[in-house]
Amino acid sequence: MKTTNVAAIIGGGVIGGGWAARFLLMGWDVRVFDPDPDAPRKIGEVLDNARRSLPGLSDVALPAEGQLSFHRELAEAVSGAAWIQESVPERLDIKHKVYQSLQALCDESAVIGSSTSGFKPSELQENAQRPGQIIVTHPFNPVYLLPLVELVPSPENPAAHVDRAKGILTSIGMYPLQVRAEIDAHIADRFLEAVWREALWLIKDGVATTEEIDDAIRYGFGLRWAQMGLFETYRIAGGEAGMRHFIEQFGPCLSWPWTKLMDVPELTDDLIDQIAGQSDAQSGHLTIRELERARDNNLVTMMRGLKAQDWGAGRLLNAQDQRIGSLAGTLDDIADLAQPITTVARAVPLDWTDYNGHMNEARYLQAFGDATDKLMALIGCDADYIASGDSYFTAETHIRHIDEVHAGAKIKVTTQVLLGEGKKLHLFHAMWEGDRLLATGEHMLIHVSLATRKASVPDARVAAPLAKLADAHAQLPMPEGAGAAVGKR
């Protein structure tokens, strides 16, 4: 019989709730100790968000969710727990009292991790019964999605205890970054504090607003940092000559009065050698062109994800699409209705290709689904119509893969209405690159009432334009492949 691991969460605020969700969804039983009577509600709401988002990061099934319980007695929460995460307020006196109580009740082998963003482990361990049991494990919000956790030991922490903490954190999908030396605010928050201080000066001096500062980050270097960090990004900026060239070219800027933070280390030859050597060890196995391609792949994937959410840089991309799109907006914009209508015209993005180097099956369906959506909008089944309570649901789909499609290919999809009457909408899509036929997609859709989720007849806003288009397309010959089944010639 499998024994479930137990994690005790001490403090159920934003960070504690995120830890609870991370452990719970990775199969651990979680016990929460928090005197706040609203803790179950707050953690329940965090858990709802985690359940809808975290599983989607995996392409395999997550472990069976553990059991969540809330406890008024500390002894009940920590008894038998393998991991105890302290996320109480950032006051050293409060944390010391918590550790005294914990260590009187918990197993000696348990890891006691602290979510502190500022205190050093040696400060947390002062006057502790077992100093080596306590270690800094500083996460980032939302804990259930972001993998980084700064693991900061002191000389009091046995190596085996640190390794055990690393193993547990890795097992729940986190990246334990072991900090080499105790330092206030660890690593990541020192960067954040520097940026935060500079931002405050920019606002105080009237140079920028909060929104303008956020725009500078989310539309620019924030995207680059998200996938390559600081030094790998600057290595690319150095071109083929690498990091040493970048430092030699831009290093003198550090002495210019650009920033309020002027305590800058001198760029001695030793420091330059150290940075260049570490950068070579990090990325020297890749050429500058390989790094650029990796960067571009990552940026396209991230920005297209933001585009799907219409957020940040993705919102800019959507607005640009609206400005430059050349497809018809209504049937009245189409000169000749008696021909198949172009419903998609685009390039195949980098993230649509698979391990064979060509577009994968799901993306054919996406392209044809986009074509269906465009045809629906042309006949009046647009956002306003759907908001009023009616739409079309796809009932059946048949796709033929005729030729390969690669990233960068400029494709278009033409759409022919085979049937458009009553509750039925029967479409035939053809995907082209120039005059080369790549694939076809045949779709049967049924008009439904969103209130009843049952088939219904469209009203005149859709029925009349659809009838007009269907009559025009009735003069076209039946396209080759229409009505085919799998394997049928």
Sign of CA dihedral 11, 13, 18, 20: positive
3-state helix, strand, coil in the chain (%, to 5): 45, 20, 35
Q: Give pLDDT, residue 259.
A: 66
Which of 448, 423, 440 is CA-nearest to residue 482?
A: 440
Local confidence band at 3 (pLDDT 50, 70, 90 cut-offs):
low
Question: Does 142 sit behind a cis peptide bond, omega within 30 degrees of 0 on the bond before it?
Answer: yes
Q: Give pLDDT, residue 441.
A: 97
Tokens representing 160 are: 């085996």
One-letter amino acid for residue 337 of the chain = L
Q: Give pLDDT, residue 447.
A: 98
Q: Quick check: 23 and 139 in contact, CB under 8 A?
A: no
Sign of CA dihedral 169, 171, 173, 177: positive
Domain residue limits, the chain: 6-178, 188-293, 327-473
Q: Is the pLDDT of residue 1 over 50?
A: no
Q: Residue holding tokens 């006057």?
A: 127
Length of the chain: 489
How far apart are the C-alpha atoms of 41 and 10, rounded to whole Å? Answer: 16
Q: Give pLDDT, residue 385.
A: 97
CATH fold, domain 188-293, is: N-(1-d-carboxylethyl)-l-norvaline Dehydrogenase; domain 2 (1.10.1040)
Tokens representing 339 are: 């021909």
Query: What is the pTM assigned to this prediction?
Result: 0.76
How far apart are the C-alpha atoms of 181 and 103, rounded to whole Å? Answer: 25
Does domain 6-178 match CATH 1.10.1200.10?
no
Q: Over the stretch 453-478, which tens digit does the pLDDT of each residue have?
A: 999 999 999 999 999 999 999 999 99
The DSSP secondary-structure symbol of 133 reads G
Q: Residue holding tokens 């997550």?
A: 62
**Mean pLDDT along residues 107-123:** 95
Local confidence band at 298 (pLDDT 50, 70, 90 cut-offs):
confident
Q: Over the stretch 350-398, which tens digit does the pLDDT of each residue have?
A: 888 888 889 999 999 999 999 999 999 999 999 999 999 999 999 999 9
Q: Give pLDDT, residue 194.
A: 85
Instruction: Give me the percent of the chain exceeding a pLDDT of 90.
Output: 61
Which of 225, 150, 238, 175 is CA-nearest to residue 195?
A: 225
Q: Is the pLDDT of residue 226 over 90?
A: no
One-letter amino acid for residue 388 of the chain = S
Tokens representing 265 are: 């280390």
**Mean pLDDT along residues 153-174:** 96
Q: Is the pLDDT of residue 261 over 70?
A: no
Residues 6+ apart with CB under 8 A from 393: 445, 446, 448
Tokens representing 92 are: 């050293």
Q: Over the stretch 395-435, which tens digit does the pLDDT of each residue have?
A: 999 999 999 999 889 999 999 999 999 999 999 999 999 99
Q: Provide the CATH number for the domain formed by 327-473 in this structure.
A: 3.10.129.10
Q: Is the pLDDT of residue 489 over 80?
A: no
Q: Give pLDDT, residue 257.
A: 66
Q: Which of 47-51, 65-69, 90-94, 293-297 has the lowest mean pLDDT?
A: 293-297
Q: Which of 2-6, 146-150, 163-167, 422-426 has the lowest mean pLDDT?
A: 2-6
**Mean pLDDT along residues 11-38:** 94
Q: CA dihedral in degrees (42, 43, 45, 48; nearest 10)?
A: 180
How far apart are the C-alpha atoms of 138 and 128, rounded to whole Å? Answer: 20
Q: Give pLDDT, residue 384.
A: 95
Q: Is the pLDDT of residue 64 over 70?
A: yes
Mean pLDDT estimate for the chain: 90
Q: Which of 71-75, 307-311, 485-489 has the lowest mean pLDDT?
A: 485-489
Q: Give pLDDT, residue 436.
A: 96
Q: Residue holding tokens 């307020």?
A: 89
